[in-house]
Amino acid sequence: MKKSICVVGLGYIGLPTSVMFANHGHKVHGVDVNASVVHNIGNKILHIEEDGLQERLNEAIDSGLLTVATTPVKAEVFIIAVPSPIREDKSANLDYIRNATAAIVPYVEKGNLVVLESTVPPRTVQDVMIPELVKSGLTIGEELYVSHSPERVIPGKVFTELITNDRIIGGVTEQSAQLTTDLYRSFVKGDMHETDATTAELVKVMENTYRDVNIALANELAKIAGNIGVDVWEAIRLANFHPRVNVHFPGPGVGGHCIAVDPWFLVELDKGNAQIINLARQTNDGMPSYTAQLTADILKAKGIEHPKVAVLGLAFKGNIDDMRESPSVDVVRELKALDLDVIAYDPHIKTDNIPEQTQVEGKALDNAAAIVVLTNHDEFTTMDPEEAAKCMSSKIIIDTKNCIDRTKWEAAGFEVYVLGNSKQ
């Protein structure tokens, strides 16, 4: 049965989710507090980059099944998909969740379903959302159904994973979970796993914490490998032939709204028992400084004074425009703290988000002593080293993602350094 759905939050998750439901026949009303975002979406202009989103948005708007505004409307289902960032002190900022929940209270009616998609600390549904929802006067779990169904998608493959991935459904009651399963079954082909809301919250945070800890291990191994003259990338490749081993890859840090954020929820919740998690977060947060110092040491060893560094990549992941929690921004800051002249370029980031950013690749490379690759965009992995060398003052490239063709760059006369591989 098709539903009327109100989705609060039209960002990297909320907009694709809205479009997906509309494309499958539901009447969807999208809400965002940013009037500019609402205006653009209504005119089929995207503010985020995601494969397949433009076509699906066009279909949703043209069919009349997707409308957008800055305020909610009455609906049978309310989906909250707003950010849950961390503050400077690494504590969770749940104001967006609280405010979004409060915003729908005047519109909810008996029999409605409220679904939280945002990734949140365990007990957010119980301690933050429900105290707001009870103000509707409806009995939670009997007259107003509530659940948590966290997204499980990766930028660049959102629509594929929305359809194919299994989904965790955490209801405050069994009926809440069942109603949520029935809703998402309209397009999800993966299995539905029903549980309670707090368990679902913990599961999502656990998933990203597992990845963060694994990456921290890879980063420690990269440092060790660099010190003993081993290529960590080759070592990891060989180790992963073991049937019960899956070591992740090192890098200049961890970005994105989930992996770089979610583990802090557990540290805040129970710091005494989250010691490995805490150390992993500190390890990964320390990689931008390590990357900057590695760059400075290489340039110093070459006797290059007052060098300019061309930073390639500001998105946290290849071939997307998402800069949320991107370690590249921290690398730029750390490089500048070491008195290096820095210009950053990213072909997917169309607006200048930091003072050091340029929209022209040639401007970044002009008179640069070294290139530091921080994001594995296709544009960088296929870059012509002969062309790059024409405007640089020296031929040095530092690859933190192991994504360039080393042989090709060396053939062009470049000295190639790879994070976790001291063999130059």
Q: What is the set of active-site residues? A: 204, 258
Please check whether residue 344 is in contact with residue 356, taking contact to mean a CB–CB distance below 8 angstroms.
yes
Handedness of CA 310, 318, 250, 242 (dihedral sign): negative
Buried b (16+ CB within 10 A) or exposed e, 151-186: bbbebeebbebbeebebbbbbbbeebbbbbbebbee
CA angle, residues 68, 69, 70, in degrees to nearest 5: 145
Please say whether the beta carbons of 372 and 291 come within 8 A. yes
Task: Using alpha carbons, select from 339, 346, 384, 393 the residue that is nearest to residue 365.
Answer: 393
Residues in Cβ contact with 192 at an 8 Å cutoff, skipping those fewer than 6 apart = 166, 167, 169, 181, 184, 185
104's enclosing H/E stretch is helix 95-104
E strand segments, 258-331: 308-312
What strand order describes the sheet that includes 341-345?
357-358, 341-345, 308-312, 370-373, 396-399, 415-418
The C-alpha atoms of residue 265 and residue 366 are separated, in whole angstroms, by 43
What are the structure tokens assigned to 419, written together?
């994070």
Amino acid residing at 415: E
